Amino acid sequence: MQNIDLNLLLALDVLLAERSVTRAAQRLGLSVSTMSRTLTRLRNTTGDPLLLQAGRELVLTL
């Protein structure tokens, strides 16, 4: 993994806590589209999907 933007780790922490892109965006004061792009950046940086949609919530991949 290359040098990771520490803001991505903060976003991941909030995504894991909120289990929703919308709620995570609200908590961080971002738009939903910005939060969605951040999740895409996280996935690209790690090479892992990290979170998957399960109903209305996001769940951590194993």
- pLDDT reported for residue 33: 98
pLDDT digits (tens, 9 = 90+) for 48-59: 999 999 999 999
Alpha carbon of residue 12 to chain centroid: 5
**Angstrom distance (rounded) from CA 46 to CA 53:** 18
Max CA pair span of the chain: 33
pLDDT digits (tens, 9 = 90+) for 21-49: 999 999 999 999 999 999 999 999 999 99
* Domains, the chain: 6-60 (1.10.10.10)
Cα atoms in the Cβ-side hemisphere of radius 13 Å centred on 46:
13
**Angstrom distance (rounded) from CA 19 to CA 50:** 12
